[in-house]
Amino acid sequence: MPGVIRFLTRRRGGDRWHWTDIVTWVWLIGGLIIMFGPAVWLALSSFKSPAALSKFPPSLLPYVTQEVQVDGFDKPLPLYEVTLPDGSTAVMAEKRRIGIIAQMIDPEDPETVVKVNIQDREPVEMVEFATSNYSKPFMQFDFLRYLWNSVFVTVMATVITLAINSMAAFALSKYQFRGQSLILIIIVGTLMVPLGVIMVPLYSIISTLGLFNSLWGVILPTVATPTGVFLLRQYMLTIPDELIDAARMDKASEWQIYWRIVLPLAAPALAVLAIFSVVWRWNDFLWPLIVLSRSSLYTLQVGLNVYAGQLNVQWHYILAMTVVTMIPVILVFVFLQRFITRGIATSGLK
Amino acid sequence: MSADSSRQRYTLSGLSFAVIRPVMGLIDIPLRALQRVGGQTGMAAFFILPNMAVFTIFVLVPFVINFVYSMTGGIEIFLNQRDFVGAYQYKEIFSCADYLEPATCKQDGFWTAAQNTAMFVVLQVALLIAVSLITAVILNREIIGRSFWRAVFFFPVLLSPVVVGLIWRWILQRDGLLNAILFELFGADQFNWLVDRTAAFAATIGVSIWAHMGFYTLILLAGLQAIPKDLYEAAEMDGTPRSRVFWRITMPLLMPNLLVVLVLALIRAVQVFDEVFVLTGGGPGTSTMYIVQYIYEMGFASELRNPGLAAAASILMGAVLIVLTLLQMAAARRNEKKGAN
């Protein structure tokens, strides 16, 4: 192991460990645990039965007490490893429990009852993943509906965002017209107008337009994002105007120039904006929370919050559904992390 | 990489032959007619119109009528049903015996939220930048698998605030992982992290740093990598101590990025809401009630709904954000000048 570490690290000060090398690796390993640990813990917990969830201190893996079917009993009985008064141990099932005395029986011989102090026994446990945490909510609650609402909002908002933002960016980068700089100033000026500032009047506009309790009321206010226009415009400015002039010589219409020349060339910037739009819209919370009051319209985020806010929180379902909500973002993270980090480093987006 | 992109192009063009091309061609017919009437430059209006229309209705108009809103009273939500009350809401907010004592204010909720937010902003931004800077400096060292480590710290940035809030609620609860670790290590008693006022406040700071530090680390790392390597080589030749190199070379050259990060972090921290709302719901009491949640509850949720007051509060928050944005623009301009020189 020290050899591996030595191979993996390039240290200052030759063979000696400089204190900065130690700090570096402590920081990195600690970061790994702190950044991934909570999500991993959530995922592990999501497979536990309600009984295992309420145990303290919690176990890493989902354990359940093994049960056995005994003749003469309707329900399966829990199994325990019992230390008998004579010092020997045996695996027995619990018939019933009164106070601190448990009546134990041998599953093979249900007639003889042994009374044992509950201190003298340990439950027989096995690892079992409670997949019902995942399957049940899909049937019992409206999670499939929430999932569908979230997908609808995300896809629609992203498609519209890309379409109208790229058109506006095209106009702002490839044409000269009056009011152009004014529009640019307004767009840049509102880059930082957050939802928190305008949510009261926005709500009344949405209501006036009849979009309250409608998924379109969630989608439309988010699609004309100044960030997107700005990012795409900066990128399209780098596309040479000669290409466009050449296309005009060939009698291409302005619309054809837009979608056959500029759009394909702006594909990298469009891809970055698409990834961000998907992540933003999938994760949106405050605005859907305001616009959607009918539970059949909830997005995953709103639905999760409502269920988690109930008096008797059913953590085993909440945890499982949180994991489901995380999956698309994790997929984006695994496959597109490179694009995203490049997008942030070059444009300060997010 | 090249094989990959060519495959993507292939599938894209397959789709485009089947669907996109015919549709776009169909759209082109009326647009050619439009172009004959309006000319080339006239088409600019067509391209910019959809975006400007949506933008105007859903950003610009709300932005403007927010001012009108803040000067009306009552609980009705539609503007035409509301009475004009002039600066009443602002007077309400600012009628305070002692601004530092929320209890002496008429709108004590606002001042509690404002005070909490101010405290949150100062502590969170200071810690956030410290942690991001340390991480960026460490990631900038010659370590194996830098892109992996960069991804590690970036991962929570993509998680939704609701997921972030739930993950940490699960860990910080009474039977949660944190208590379990403290119990196993020190035999500590179970502690209600989210029920204690100070602990809950600290938790909101810690969780928001956890969720966002990757973003700032990335920007700072980009700045660090832009610093010319020969400066460090020269310093090494001269036998300059490491700490001196850091304070005399790294920090001054990183300053522009640090400034941008500082302002961005400030702007975001002022608006803290979602993950805190899921984590603590503003509680216990009002100890983690921040300004956006106050606006949300005043505008939509609470029994004592008062949209005019919410609008006034949001304008005050907007004013703070505009000052911060102007700061950021000034910082960005200074950067550009530096880059040009």
The domains found in chain B, sorted by start residue, are 3-65 (no CATH), 106-340 (1.10.3720.10)
- Residue (of A256, A261, A259) closest to A240 by Cα position: A261
> Is the CB of B162 less than 8 angstroms away from the CB of A304?
yes
- What phi-psi label fits residue B39: left (phi over 0), alpha (psi between -120 and 50 degrees) or beta? left
C-alpha–C-alpha distance, residues A58 and B190, integer Å? 13
**Token reading at B132:** 């991001």
> Is the CB of B242 less than 8 angstroms away from the CB of A20?
yes
* CA-based nearest distance B88→chain A, Å: 18
C-alpha–C-alpha distance, residues A87 and A94, integer Å? 19
> Is the CB of A31 less than 8 angstroms away from the CB of B149?
yes
Asked if pLDDT for residue A140 goes beyond 50, the answer is yes
pLDDT of residue B338: 58
Contact A313/B at CB under 8 A:
no
> In this complex, which of A167, A201, A318 lies closest to B50 when CB atoms are compared?
A167
- Enclosing H/E stretch for A287: helix A286-291
- Residue (of B209, B208, B204, B205) closest to B132 by Cα position: B209
> Is the CB of A255 less than 8 angstroms away from the CB of B180?
no
pLDDT average per 10 residues of sequence, chain B (341 residues): 45 65 84 85 88 91 89 79 80 80 81 94 96 94 85 90 93 88 86 91 96 93 89 87 87 88 90 92 89 91 83 92 83 65 42
Asked if pLDDT for residue A152 goes beyond 50, the answer is yes
pTM above 0.90, yes or no: no
> In this complex, which of A8, A41, A259 lies closest to B177 when CB atoms are compared?
A41
For A148, residues 6+ apart whose C-beta sits below 8 A from its C-beta are none
SS3 A117: strand
- Token pair 């030595």 is at which residue? A6
Residues of A in contact with B51 (CB under 8 A): 164-165, 167-168, 224, 229
**In chain A, what percentage of residues exceed pLDDT 90?**
29
- Residue (of B107, B298, B322, B159) closest to A330 by Cα position: B159
- Enclosing H/E stretch for B137: helix B108-139
**Token reading at A48:** 């536990």
Closest chain A residue to B49 measured between Cα atoms? A168
- A44-48, A312-316, B124-128, B332-336: least confidently modelled range: B332-336
> In this complex, which of A192, A203, A285 lies closest to B274 when CB atoms are compared?
A285
* Amino acid (one-letter) located at A269: A
DSSP A91: E
Question: Is residue B213 within 8 Å of B131, Cβ to Cβ?
Answer: yes
For B56, residues 6+ apart whose C-beta sits below 8 A from its C-beta are none
Q: What share of chain A is helix, strand, coil (3-state, %, to 5)?
A: 60, 15, 25
pLDDT of residue A55: 76
- Mean pLDDT for all residues in chain A: 83
> Is the CB of B31 less than 8 angstroms away from the CB of A279?
no
pLDDT tens for each residue of A324-344: 888 888 888 888 877 777 777
Stretch A206-231: mean pLDDT, rounded? 91
Asked if pLDDT for residue A188 goes beyond 60, the answer is yes
pLDDT of residue B210: 96
| CB-based burial, A87-97: b 16+ in 10 Å, e otherwise | eeeeebbbbee
pLDDT of residue B334: 73
pLDDT of residue B11: 53
Mark which residues 138-197 of A lie under 8 Å from B by CB: 163-165, 167-168, 170-172, 175-177, 183, 186-187, 190-194, 196-197
pLDDT of residue B1: 38
SS3 A82: strand
Stretch A101-117: mean pLDDT, rounded? 78
Cα–chain center distance at B59? 18
Stretch A149-172: mean pLDDT, rounded? 95
ipTM summary value: 0.85
